[in-house]
Structure 1
Amino acid sequence: MSVIGTAALGLAAGVIASLVTPGRRGPFGFMLTSLLGIIGAFAAAYLGQEAGWYQAEDSTGLIAALLGAAILLLIWGLLFRSRRPTSSV
């Protein structure tokens, strides 16, 4: 898969992963979610191909990119979640 194809796949995976992962995203919005998806796609593609799980042209890369983006979003949410109470009932 080309670099542009992986970036487009990561963008789509970031948007899909932001819809699938639970919790509130807070202020980081579409740009950061997309960037994390792209990073997750590149990391999953590199690690999956180096480990021999799939080849560059396999459709398994979409699943790996989605999982990579979801894991990055979950880690980001755990590290940078708001410590303030959400309501003062």
Structure 2
Amino acid sequence: MGIIGTILIGFVVGLVARFLKPGKDAMGWIMTIVLGIGGSLLATYAGQALGWYQPGETAGFIGAVVGAIILLVLWALVSKKK
């Protein structure tokens, strides 16, 4: 998949994750793309570490969304204002 396809899929995954996670997530569309791509990478490497995916096999759409939601929760914890 080319870079444009990766960006588009990352954007869609990021939007779905932001929709499914309750609460306010103030971030722009670039951070949404980064969130989606990062969620996909997290799901791929975690799935390979747990034996769910073989090396060279990527996570599916649902796995990428779950990974993106995990990143959103971590982002909320780290960026929480005191």
TM over 0.5, shorter chain: yes
- Residue 34 in 1 paired to residue 33 in 2? yes
5+ residue gaps, structure 2: none
How many pairs were matched up? 79
| C-alpha distance in 2 between matches for 1:13 and 1:49 | 20
Alignment match, 2:17: 17
Of 66-75 and 10-19, more deviation after overlay is shown by 10-19
**Deviation of 1:10 (Å):** 2.9
* Identity across matched positions, percent: 41
Q: Give the counterpart letter for 2:11 in structure 1.
A: L
Consecutive aligned runs of 4 or more in structure 1 exceeding 6 Å deviation = none
Per the normalisation by structure 1, the TM-score is 0.68
- Over aligned residues, Cα RMSD in angstroms? 2.4
5+ residue gaps, structure 1: 84-89
| C-alpha distance in 2 between matches for 1:3 and 1:68 | 21
Larger Rg: 1
- Residue 73 in 1 paired to residue 72 in 2? yes
